[in-house]
Amino acid sequence: MKYANSILDTIGNTPLVKLNKITQDVDALVLAKVESFNPGNSVKDRMALKMIEDAEADGRLKPKGTIVEGTSGNTGMGLALAAIVKGYNLICVSTDKQSKEKFDVLRAVGAKVVVCPTDVSPEDPKSYYSTSKRIADETPNSWYVNQYDNPSNTQAHFESTGPEIWEQTNGKITHFVVGVGTGGTISGVGKFLKEKNPNIKIWGIDTYGSVFKKYHETGVFDNNEIYPYSTEGIGEDILPENVDFSIIDLFEKVTDKEAAIFTRKLAKTEGIFAGNSCGAAIKGLLQLKGKLKKSDVVVVLLHDSGSRYIGKIYNDDWMKSKKFLT
Protein backbone atom coordinates (compact mmCIF):
# COMPACT_ATOMS: atom_id res chain seq x y z
CA MET A 1 0.00 0.00 0.00
CA LYS A 2 1.18 3.51 -0.81
CA TYR A 3 0.11 6.27 1.56
CA ALA A 4 1.43 9.25 3.54
CA ASN A 5 1.70 8.88 7.32
CA SER A 6 0.29 12.39 7.80
CA ILE A 7 -0.63 15.38 5.67
CA LEU A 8 2.87 16.77 6.39
CA ASP A 9 4.44 14.01 4.29
CA THR A 10 2.70 15.42 1.20
CA ILE A 11 4.59 18.73 1.34
CA GLY A 12 6.89 19.39 -1.63
CA ASN A 13 7.51 17.70 -4.98
CA THR A 14 5.18 20.16 -6.69
CA PRO A 15 4.84 20.09 -10.49
CA LEU A 16 6.72 22.18 -13.03
CA VAL A 17 4.28 23.30 -15.74
CA LYS A 18 5.10 24.90 -19.10
CA LEU A 19 3.37 28.25 -19.66
CA ASN A 20 2.04 28.47 -23.20
CA LYS A 21 -0.14 31.53 -23.73
CA ILE A 22 0.54 34.18 -21.10
CA THR A 23 4.28 34.14 -21.94
CA GLN A 24 3.95 33.65 -25.70
CA ASP A 25 5.90 36.87 -26.36
CA VAL A 26 8.88 35.56 -24.35
CA ASP A 27 11.55 33.84 -26.44
CA ALA A 28 12.60 31.47 -23.66
CA LEU A 29 10.99 28.30 -22.33
CA VAL A 30 9.01 29.44 -19.27
CA LEU A 31 8.10 26.87 -16.62
CA ALA A 32 5.91 27.52 -13.58
CA LYS A 33 6.68 25.85 -10.24
CA VAL A 34 3.09 25.54 -9.02
CA GLU A 35 3.27 25.62 -5.23
CA SER A 36 -0.50 25.57 -4.65
CA PHE A 37 -0.16 21.77 -4.94
CA ASN A 38 1.18 21.71 -1.37
CA PRO A 39 -1.45 20.61 1.21
CA GLY A 40 -1.76 24.13 2.63
CA ASN A 41 -1.95 25.46 -0.94
CA SER A 42 1.27 27.49 -0.79
CA VAL A 43 5.07 27.37 -0.88
CA LYS A 44 5.05 28.37 2.79
CA ASP A 45 4.22 24.83 3.92
CA ARG A 46 7.86 23.95 3.27
CA MET A 47 9.41 26.50 5.58
CA ALA A 48 6.66 26.29 8.20
CA LEU A 49 7.41 22.61 8.77
CA LYS A 50 11.19 23.17 8.72
CA MET A 51 11.01 26.03 11.24
CA ILE A 52 8.90 23.89 13.60
CA GLU A 53 11.12 20.82 13.28
CA ASP A 54 14.27 22.86 13.94
CA ALA A 55 12.65 24.54 16.97
CA GLU A 56 11.61 21.13 18.32
CA ALA A 57 15.13 19.79 17.83
CA ASP A 58 16.87 22.54 19.82
CA GLY A 59 14.20 22.92 22.51
CA ARG A 60 12.73 26.31 21.58
CA LEU A 61 9.35 24.63 20.96
CA LYS A 62 8.23 22.36 23.77
CA PRO A 63 5.40 19.77 23.91
CA LYS A 64 1.89 21.29 23.95
CA GLY A 65 3.44 24.72 23.38
CA THR A 66 1.86 27.70 21.66
CA ILE A 67 3.27 28.86 18.32
CA VAL A 68 3.02 32.62 17.68
CA GLU A 69 3.66 34.18 14.30
CA GLY A 70 3.03 37.32 12.29
CA THR A 71 1.73 36.03 8.96
CA SER A 72 -0.26 37.23 5.98
CA GLY A 73 -1.98 33.86 5.93
CA ASN A 74 0.07 31.35 3.96
CA THR A 75 2.76 30.76 6.59
CA GLY A 76 -0.04 30.54 9.14
CA MET A 77 -1.70 27.79 7.14
CA GLY A 78 1.54 25.81 6.94
CA LEU A 79 2.11 26.27 10.67
CA ALA A 80 -1.50 25.26 11.38
CA LEU A 81 -1.19 21.95 9.55
CA ALA A 82 1.99 21.11 11.46
CA ALA A 83 0.46 22.28 14.76
CA ILE A 84 -2.56 19.99 14.26
CA VAL A 85 -0.44 16.93 13.49
CA LYS A 86 2.09 17.64 16.25
CA GLY A 87 -0.28 18.86 18.98
CA TYR A 88 0.49 22.59 19.36
CA ASN A 89 -1.67 25.70 19.73
CA LEU A 90 -1.28 28.47 17.15
CA ILE A 91 -1.83 32.24 17.32
CA CYS A 92 -1.52 34.08 13.98
CA VAL A 93 -1.09 37.86 13.94
CA SER A 94 -1.91 39.57 10.66
CA THR A 95 -2.87 42.87 9.06
CA ASP A 96 -6.21 44.31 7.98
CA LYS A 97 -5.01 44.47 4.35
CA GLN A 98 -5.17 40.69 3.96
CA SER A 99 -8.12 38.97 2.35
CA LYS A 100 -10.91 37.77 4.66
CA GLU A 101 -10.58 34.29 3.14
CA LYS A 102 -7.10 33.93 4.59
CA PHE A 103 -8.41 34.55 8.12
CA ASP A 104 -11.39 32.22 7.61
CA VAL A 105 -9.06 29.45 6.44
CA LEU A 106 -6.75 29.91 9.44
CA ARG A 107 -9.67 29.74 11.86
CA ALA A 108 -10.96 26.64 10.05
CA VAL A 109 -7.73 24.83 10.90
CA GLY A 110 -7.83 25.83 14.55
CA ALA A 111 -5.68 28.96 14.68
CA LYS A 112 -6.52 32.02 16.75
CA VAL A 113 -6.25 35.13 14.52
CA VAL A 114 -5.32 38.62 15.75
CA VAL A 115 -5.72 41.44 13.19
CA CYS A 116 -3.58 44.61 13.31
CA PRO A 117 -3.63 47.84 11.25
CA THR A 118 -1.47 47.87 8.09
CA ASP A 119 -0.86 51.59 7.94
CA VAL A 120 1.55 51.92 10.90
CA SER A 121 5.34 51.73 11.08
CA PRO A 122 6.97 48.39 12.04
CA GLU A 123 8.09 49.94 15.36
CA ASP A 124 4.55 51.00 16.30
CA PRO A 125 3.19 48.93 19.24
CA LYS A 126 0.06 48.24 17.12
CA SER A 127 2.03 46.84 14.15
CA TYR A 128 1.83 43.15 13.49
CA TYR A 129 5.57 42.77 14.10
CA SER A 130 5.31 44.37 17.58
CA THR A 131 2.05 42.62 18.44
CA SER A 132 3.46 39.19 17.56
CA LYS A 133 6.44 39.72 19.86
CA ARG A 134 4.25 41.03 22.69
CA ILE A 135 1.82 38.09 22.49
CA ALA A 136 4.75 35.64 22.50
CA ASP A 137 6.23 37.37 25.57
CA GLU A 138 2.89 37.26 27.39
CA THR A 139 1.95 33.65 26.51
CA PRO A 140 3.35 30.85 28.72
CA ASN A 141 5.21 28.01 26.94
CA SER A 142 5.18 29.89 23.63
CA TRP A 143 7.58 30.15 20.72
CA TYR A 144 7.76 33.17 18.40
CA VAL A 145 8.54 31.88 14.90
CA ASN A 146 9.75 35.13 13.26
CA GLN A 147 9.82 33.88 9.66
CA TYR A 148 11.55 37.09 8.53
CA ASP A 149 14.76 36.44 10.46
CA ASN A 150 14.52 32.69 11.09
CA PRO A 151 17.30 30.95 9.09
CA SER A 152 15.26 27.74 8.85
CA ASN A 153 13.04 29.61 6.36
CA THR A 154 15.86 29.97 3.81
CA GLN A 155 17.24 26.53 4.67
CA ALA A 156 13.92 24.84 3.82
CA HIS A 157 14.17 26.10 0.25
CA PHE A 158 17.87 25.27 0.01
CA GLU A 159 17.02 21.69 0.99
CA SER A 160 13.76 21.14 -0.94
CA THR A 161 12.58 23.74 -3.48
CA GLY A 162 16.01 24.39 -5.01
CA PRO A 163 16.94 20.73 -5.53
CA GLU A 164 13.48 19.96 -6.98
CA ILE A 165 13.82 22.74 -9.58
CA TRP A 166 17.36 21.63 -10.46
CA GLU A 167 16.27 18.02 -10.95
CA GLN A 168 13.05 18.87 -12.79
CA THR A 169 14.97 20.98 -15.33
CA ASN A 170 17.85 18.47 -15.57
CA GLY A 171 20.13 21.31 -14.50
CA LYS A 172 19.18 23.35 -17.58
CA ILE A 173 17.59 26.25 -15.68
CA THR A 174 19.11 29.64 -16.59
CA HIS A 175 16.79 32.05 -14.70
CA PHE A 176 14.76 31.82 -11.49
CA VAL A 177 12.00 34.40 -10.99
CA VAL A 178 10.07 34.81 -7.74
CA GLY A 179 8.26 37.42 -5.65
CA VAL A 180 10.16 38.50 -2.54
CA GLY A 181 8.58 38.94 0.90
CA THR A 182 10.43 37.31 3.79
CA GLY A 183 13.21 36.42 1.35
CA GLY A 184 13.38 32.75 2.30
CA THR A 185 12.35 31.34 -1.06
CA ILE A 186 14.57 33.49 -3.27
CA SER A 187 17.59 33.20 -0.95
CA GLY A 188 17.33 29.43 -0.35
CA VAL A 189 16.57 28.48 -3.95
CA GLY A 190 19.04 31.07 -5.27
CA LYS A 191 21.86 29.82 -3.04
CA PHE A 192 21.30 26.21 -4.10
CA LEU A 193 21.09 27.03 -7.81
CA LYS A 194 24.15 29.31 -7.81
CA GLU A 195 26.18 26.63 -6.03
CA LYS A 196 25.23 24.29 -8.88
CA ASN A 197 25.82 26.90 -11.60
CA PRO A 198 26.96 30.46 -10.71
CA ASN A 199 25.70 31.72 -14.10
CA ILE A 200 22.03 31.16 -13.21
CA LYS A 201 20.26 34.52 -12.84
CA ILE A 202 18.10 35.11 -9.77
CA TRP A 203 15.41 37.76 -10.34
CA GLY A 204 13.29 39.11 -7.48
CA ILE A 205 9.86 40.63 -8.04
CA ASP A 206 9.04 43.60 -5.82
CA THR A 207 6.12 46.01 -5.53
CA TYR A 208 5.74 49.80 -5.39
CA GLY A 209 5.67 50.75 -1.69
CA SER A 210 8.49 48.35 -0.81
CA VAL A 211 12.15 49.06 -0.03
CA PHE A 212 13.84 46.09 -1.71
CA LYS A 213 14.66 47.33 -5.21
CA LYS A 214 16.22 50.64 -4.20
CA TYR A 215 18.14 49.06 -1.32
CA HIS A 216 19.54 46.36 -3.63
CA GLU A 217 20.64 48.94 -6.21
CA THR A 218 21.95 51.68 -3.92
CA GLY A 219 22.44 50.24 -0.42
CA VAL A 220 20.12 52.98 0.84
CA PHE A 221 17.10 52.16 3.02
CA ASP A 222 14.75 54.92 1.88
CA ASN A 223 11.67 55.58 4.04
CA ASN A 224 10.22 57.59 1.15
CA GLU A 225 9.86 54.31 -0.77
CA ILE A 226 7.41 53.04 1.86
CA TYR A 227 3.69 53.58 1.37
CA PRO A 228 0.59 51.34 1.49
CA TYR A 229 0.03 48.94 -1.41
CA SER A 230 -2.55 46.25 -2.08
CA THR A 231 -0.43 43.42 -3.53
CA GLU A 232 -0.29 40.61 -0.97
CA GLY A 233 2.69 38.42 -0.17
CA ILE A 234 5.58 40.46 -1.60
CA GLY A 235 7.50 43.60 -0.70
CA GLU A 236 8.42 44.85 2.78
CA ASP A 237 8.96 48.01 4.81
CA ILE A 238 11.80 46.25 6.67
CA LEU A 239 14.93 44.33 5.62
CA PRO A 240 14.38 40.72 6.73
CA GLU A 241 17.55 38.79 7.58
CA ASN A 242 16.37 36.08 5.17
CA VAL A 243 16.83 38.37 2.15
CA ASP A 244 20.36 37.63 0.94
CA PHE A 245 20.84 40.55 -1.44
CA SER A 246 24.19 39.14 -2.66
CA ILE A 247 22.40 36.19 -4.31
CA ILE A 248 19.82 38.31 -6.15
CA ASP A 249 20.88 39.65 -9.55
CA LEU A 250 18.09 42.20 -9.94
CA PHE A 251 14.74 43.36 -8.61
CA GLU A 252 11.81 44.36 -10.83
CA LYS A 253 8.80 46.29 -9.50
CA VAL A 254 5.23 45.59 -10.61
CA THR A 255 2.22 47.83 -9.90
CA ASP A 256 -0.74 46.68 -7.81
CA LYS A 257 -2.99 46.97 -10.87
CA GLU A 258 -0.79 44.87 -13.15
CA ALA A 259 -0.27 42.24 -10.43
CA ALA A 260 -4.04 41.88 -10.03
CA ILE A 261 -4.77 41.83 -13.77
CA PHE A 262 -2.09 39.25 -14.51
CA THR A 263 -3.24 37.04 -11.63
CA ARG A 264 -6.62 36.86 -13.34
CA LYS A 265 -4.99 36.40 -16.74
CA LEU A 266 -3.03 33.40 -15.44
CA ALA A 267 -6.30 31.68 -14.52
CA LYS A 268 -8.01 32.52 -17.82
CA THR A 269 -5.13 31.70 -20.17
CA GLU A 270 -3.33 28.82 -18.45
CA GLY A 271 -5.96 27.38 -16.12
CA ILE A 272 -3.67 28.07 -13.16
CA PHE A 273 -5.80 29.51 -10.36
CA ALA A 274 -3.12 31.36 -8.45
CA GLY A 275 -2.65 34.08 -5.85
CA ASN A 276 -1.91 37.79 -6.04
CA SER A 277 1.90 37.61 -5.99
CA CYS A 278 1.84 35.07 -8.84
CA GLY A 279 0.42 37.68 -11.20
CA ALA A 280 3.18 40.04 -10.09
CA ALA A 281 5.81 37.38 -10.81
CA ILE A 282 4.44 36.77 -14.32
CA LYS A 283 4.18 40.50 -15.13
CA GLY A 284 7.68 41.11 -13.77
CA LEU A 285 9.01 38.36 -16.02
CA LEU A 286 7.24 39.90 -19.04
CA GLN A 287 8.76 43.30 -18.22
CA LEU A 288 12.21 41.65 -18.32
CA LYS A 289 11.66 39.61 -21.50
CA GLY A 290 14.23 41.68 -23.41
CA LYS A 291 16.94 40.08 -21.27
CA LEU A 292 15.99 36.56 -22.40
CA LYS A 293 16.95 34.48 -25.44
CA LYS A 294 15.47 31.38 -27.08
CA SER A 295 17.84 28.91 -25.40
CA ASP A 296 17.01 30.14 -21.87
CA VAL A 297 15.02 28.03 -19.41
CA VAL A 298 13.12 30.22 -16.95
CA VAL A 299 11.43 28.91 -13.82
CA VAL A 300 8.91 31.26 -12.23
CA LEU A 301 7.62 30.20 -8.82
CA LEU A 302 3.88 30.64 -8.24
CA HIS A 303 3.49 30.99 -4.48
CA ASP A 304 -0.10 30.11 -3.71
CA SER A 305 -3.67 29.40 -4.73
CA GLY A 306 -6.36 31.79 -5.92
CA SER A 307 -8.71 30.42 -3.26
CA ARG A 308 -7.30 32.96 -0.77
CA TYR A 309 -8.31 35.89 -3.00
CA ILE A 310 -11.91 35.15 -4.06
CA GLY A 311 -13.21 38.29 -2.33
CA LYS A 312 -10.51 40.54 -3.79
CA ILE A 313 -8.57 39.77 -6.98
CA TYR A 314 -11.32 37.51 -8.37
CA ASN A 315 -14.14 39.84 -7.32
CA ASP A 316 -15.18 42.44 -9.92
CA ASP A 317 -16.56 44.86 -7.33
CA TRP A 318 -13.29 44.89 -5.38
CA MET A 319 -11.28 45.27 -8.59
CA LYS A 320 -13.47 48.21 -9.64
CA SER A 321 -13.17 49.82 -6.19
CA LYS A 322 -9.38 49.83 -6.71
CA LYS A 323 -9.83 51.12 -10.30
CA PHE A 324 -8.14 47.96 -11.60
CA LEU A 325 -11.25 47.31 -13.71
CA THR A 326 -13.51 49.85 -15.38
- pLDDT at position 267 is 98
**Domain presence at residue 198:** yes
CATH number of the domain bearing residue 308: 3.40.50.1100
Is residue 45 within 8 Å of 81, Cβ to Cβ?
Answer: yes
Instruction: Please give the angle made by the CA atoms of 172, 177 and 180, to the nearest 5 degrees.
Output: 145
CA dist 95 and 233 (Å) reads 12
CA dist 207 and 210 (Å) reads 6
Question: Could you give the dihedral angle defined by the CA atoms of residues 130, 133, 136 and 139, in that order, rounded to the nearest 10 degrees?
Answer: -50
Q: Report pLDDT digits (tens) over 206-262.
A: 999 999 999 999 999 999 999 999 999 999 999 999 999 999 999 999 999 999 999
Q: Report pLDDT digits (tens) over 134-184.
A: 999 999 999 999 999 999 999 999 999 999 999 999 999 999 999 999 999
The total number of structural domains in the chain stands at 2
Q: Could you tell me if 54 and 196 lie in one domain?
A: no
Q: Could you tell me if 134 and 176 lie in one domain?
A: no
* Phi–psi pair at 202, nearest 5 degrees: -115, 115
- pLDDT at position 50 is 98
44 noted as active-site residue: yes
List 18, 33, 44, 265, catalytic entry? 44
Q: Could you tell me if 109 and 237 lie in one domain?
A: no
Q: Could you tell me if 93 and 197 lie in one domain?
A: no
